[in-house]
Structure 1
Amino acid sequence: MPDIPLVPAHWRFPAQPASVRRARHAVAASLPDVLRPRLGADLSLLTSELVTNAIRHGACWADEEFIELVLWPADGHYWLAVSDPGAGRPVLARPGVESESGRGLVLVDSLAAAWAVRPRPTCGTSVIAGLSLQRGGG
Structure 2
Amino acid sequence: MNVQYPMDGLREARTISVVRGGRKAIAPPPESDNTPICRVRDFQMATEIPAQAEAVAGARHQLGALLACSGLSECADTVMLVTQELMVNAMVHGCGSKPTLRFIVRATHGHGRLRVEVEDPSIKQPHTRPPSPDEEGGRGLYLVDSLVTRWGTYRSKPGHGKTVWFELDLAAEEAAS
Query: Same fold by TM-score, threshold 0.5 exceeded?
Result: yes
Does the CA-based 8 Å contact 1:89-1:117 persist in structure 2?
yes
Structure having the larger proportion of residues in helix: 1
For residues 31-61 of structure 1, give each alpha carbon's deviation from its aligned partner in whole angstroms, at most 9, with x where no partner exists: 144211x211101101110000000000144
Q: CA deviation at 1:113?
A: 0.2
Superposed, which structure 2 residues align to 1:1-138 within 5 Å? Answer: 6=42, 8-33=44-69, 34-36=71-73, 38-62=74-98, 64-122=100-158, 123-134=160-171
Q: How many residues align?
A: 134
**What is the TM-score normalised by the length of structure 1?**
0.85
- TM-superposed CA distance for 1:119, in Å, is 0.7
User: Quick check: which has more Rg, 1 or 2?
Assistant: 2
Q: Which has the higher contact order (CA 8 A, sep 6+)?
A: 1
Alignment root-mean-square deviation, CA? 2.4
Q: Write the letter of the residue equivalent to 1:52.
A: V
Distance verdict in 2 for CA 1:41–1:62, change over 3 Å: closer
Q: Which runs of 5+ in 1 are unaligned?
A: none
Q: 1:7: Cα distance to partner?
A: 5.2
Q: Percent identity?
A: 30
2:148 touches 2:166 (CA, 8 Å); kept in 1?
yes
Runs of 5+ unmatched residues, structure 2: 1-7, 9-41
Q: 8 Å contact 2:114–2:167 — kept in the other structure? A: yes
Partners in 1 of 2:47 and 2:167 — Cα distance? 18
**Equivalent position amino acid for 2:84 in 1:** S
8 Å Cα contact 2:51/2:99 also seen in 1: no
